[in-house]
Amino acid sequence: MAETGRRRDLRLGVNIDHVATVRNARGTAYPDPVRAARLAEAAGADGVTAHLREDRRHISDDDIARLMAALRLPLNLEMAATEEMQAIALRHRPHAVCLVPERREERTTEGGLDVLREEARLADFIAPLAAAGCRVSLFVAADPAQIEAARRVGAAVVELHTGAYCDLHHEGRLAERDAELARLRAEAARAAALGLEVHAGHGLTYETVGPVAAIPELRELNIGHFLIGEAIFVGLGPAIEGMRRAMDAARGG
Ligand code: PXP
């Protein structure tokens, strides 16, 4: 099936964190992120992403257990590089683990990991996860030194942070946006040449996804907040299908 081949060339991971944000605003059992994950599966997502934060502000431990039990799609567990999170990942053994920096006071993940500063610790942290069969990804800025360090610590994947590119676009700072896009392109090529699989994500919308999806080395985009917001107006399935179409169009499909 040519269609499937093209789709798998750039996978879409749907991040369902903010379904849990709405649920937790009231302390109810609904809306259920597992139901959203099943809908994402039906709408053609290639994976589901969930960030178990240290403060459990959206996804809970029980959500991770239920996602692992319910999903046929691969789960990408985003987490900080802490002992607690490592034990959880080793217990569940999700398909992928994406290590992200985490500060409690931030609204969202604001920057990439400082892999260079934590090189020895991250190498030790990644080894048991990789041995357990998880594909370990590091969420990094488009910075050559960080990408080279990601290779050295044994990551299989880097996920390039697209937040700065998206913010610059929405602020109308177009020359700076284009410079950031050029960095994303160059660093995707560098990472792929080093043998890393390259993903990207954060802040992507229908307006900003095209130029990122067109970067040939990218194999996966992880997108959440915009899709959950768009789902309020059109439903989650159509929102995901719209993103899939935008990605395919950018890829020349
Ligand atoms: N990728 C990573 C590593 C993230 O931390 C996040 C946010 O949790 C995303 C992608 C998705 O970002 P957004 O929700 O802004 O689409």
Which residues fall within 8 angstroms of residue 15, CB to CB, at 6 or more apart?
A: 48, 49, 50, 51, 78, 201, 222, 223, 224, 225, 227
Tens digits of residue pLDDT in 17-73:
999 999 999 999 999 999 999 999 999 999 999 999 999 999 999 999 999 999 999
Mean pLDDT on 140-157: 97
Query: How far from 158 is each of 85, 96, 241, CA to CA, in Å?
Result: 19, 12, 25
- In a domain, residue 243? The reply is no
At 64, list the tokens: 């991770």
| Rounded CA separation 223/225 (Å) | 7
- In a domain, residue 13? The reply is no
Predicted local confidence at residue 104, as pLDDT: 64
* Residue 135 and residue 156 in contact, taking contact as beta carbons nearer than 8 Å: yes
- In a domain, residue 37? The reply is no
Closest approach atom of ligand 1 to CA 137: 3
**Span from the CA of 3 to the centroid of ligand 1 (angstroms):** 26
- In a domain, residue 140? The reply is yes
User: Angle, to 10 degrees, between the axis of helix 236-250 and the axis of helix 206-213?
Assistant: 40
Is pLDDT at 6 greater than 50 in this prediction? no
Chain-centroid distance of CA 60 in Å reads 18
- In a domain, residue 17? The reply is no
Segments forming the whole domain that contains residue 77 = 49-221
Task: Please state, rounded to an integer, the average pLDDT across all residues of the chain.
Answer: 95
Predicted local confidence at residue 147, as pLDDT: 97
CATH of the domain at 112: 3.20.20.70
Predicted local confidence at residue 105, as pLDDT: 64
Predicted local confidence at residue 179, as pLDDT: 98
- In a domain, residue 26? The reply is no
Q: Ligand 1 — pocket residues by CB below 6 A?
A: 15, 17, 51, 78, 98, 100, 109, 139, 159, 201-204, 222-226
Predicted local confidence at residue 126, as pLDDT: 98
**Span from the CA of 100 to the centroid of ligand 1 (angstroms):** 10
Domain count, the chain: 1
Is pLDDT at 2 greater than 60 in this prediction? no
Chain-centroid distance of CA 72 in Å reads 18
- In a domain, residue 145? The reply is yes
Closest approach atom of ligand 1 to CA 222: 10
> Ligand 1: which residue has its CA nearest to atom 4?
202
- Half-sphere exposure (CA, 13 Å, Cβ side) for 253? 19
Checking 108-111 for CB contacts under 8 A at 24+ apart, the result is 108/163, 108/202, 108/225, 109/51, 109/139, 109/161, 109/163, 109/202, 110/163, 111/141, 111/161
- In a domain, residue 228? The reply is no
Mean pLDDT on 196-209: 98
Predicted local confidence at residue 111, as pLDDT: 80
Mean pLDDT on 218-227: 98
| Rounded CA separation 239/30 (Å) | 20
Could you tell me the pTM of the whole model? 0.95
At 65, list the tokens: 């257990």
Is pLDDT at 7 greater than 60 in this prediction? no
* Residue 204 and residue 223 in contact, taking contact as beta carbons nearer than 8 Å: yes
% of the chain with per-residue pLDDT over 90: 92
Tens digits of residue pLDDT in 74-127:
999 999 999 999 999 999 999 999 999 987 666 666 789 999 999 999 999 999
